[in-house]
Amino acid sequence: MSPLSRREALARVGRSALFVSATAVLGRAAWDPVGPRESRAVSGPGRRDLRVRGAEPGRIELAIASGGPAAAATPEALTRRAIAALGGMDRFVSRGDVVAIKPNVGWDRTPAQAANTNPRVVAELVRLALGAGAKRVVVTDIPCNEPARCFERSGIGPAAHEAGAEVVLPAEHLLRTVRLGGEVLDEWPVHRPLLEADKVIGVPVAKHHGLTRYTGALKNWYGLLGGRRDRLHQRIDESIADLAAFLQPTLTVVDATRVLLRGGPQGGNLADTLDARTVIASVDQVAADACACRLIGVVADELPYLALAERRGLGTRRWDRLRWAQV
C-alpha 41/C-alpha 33 separation (Å) is 15
Q: Is the pLDDT of residue 113 over 70?
A: yes
Architecture of domain 6-326 in CATH? 3-Layer(aba) Sandwich (3.40)
Sketch the domain layout of the chain as residue ranges. Answer: 6-326
pTM to 2 decimals? 0.88
Q: How far apart are the first and last CA of the chain?
A: 30
Secondary structure of 276-325 in HEC code, one letter for each residue = CCEEEEECCHHHHHHHHHHHHCCCHHHCHHHHHHHHCCCCCCCHHHCCEE
pLDDT for res 38: 40
Q: Dump pLDDT digits (tens) for 172-215.
A: 999 999 999 999 998 999 999 999 999 999 999 999 999 999 99
Q: Is the pLDDT of residue 282 over 60?
A: yes
CB 27 within 8 A of CB 168: yes
Q: Is the pLDDT of residue 291 over 70?
A: yes
Q: Dump pLDDT digits (tens) for 7-31.
A: 554 455 455 444 554 444 344 334 3
Pick the range with the lowest mean pLDDT from 33-47, 175-189, 288-302: 33-47
pLDDT for res 92: 98
pLDDT for res 67: 87
Question: Helix (H, G, I), strand (E, B), or coil: what is residue 269?
Answer: coil
Percent of the chain with pLDDT over 70: 85
Q: How confident is the model at residue 311 (pLDDT cuts 50, 70, 90)?
A: very high
Q: What is the mean pLDDT of residues 284-289?
A: 98
Q: Dump pLDDT digits (tens) for 222-275.
A: 999 998 888 888 899 999 999 999 999 999 999 999 999 999 999 999 999 999
Q: Dump pLDDT digits (tens) for 54-109.
A: 657 789 999 999 988 888 899 999 999 999 999 999 999 999 999 999 999 999 99
Q: What is the signed CA dihedral for 85, 90, 91, 95, rounded to 10 degrees?
A: 170
Q: What is the mean pLDDT of residues 291-317?
A: 97
Can you spell out the DSSP letters for 234-256? GGHHHHHHHHHHHEE-SEEEEEE
What's the mean per-residue pLDDT of the chain? 88
Preceding omega of 265 cis (within 30 degrees of 0): yes
Q: Is the dihedral of CA 107, 102, 23, 46 positive or negative?
A: negative
Q: Is the pLDDT of residue 120 over 70?
A: yes
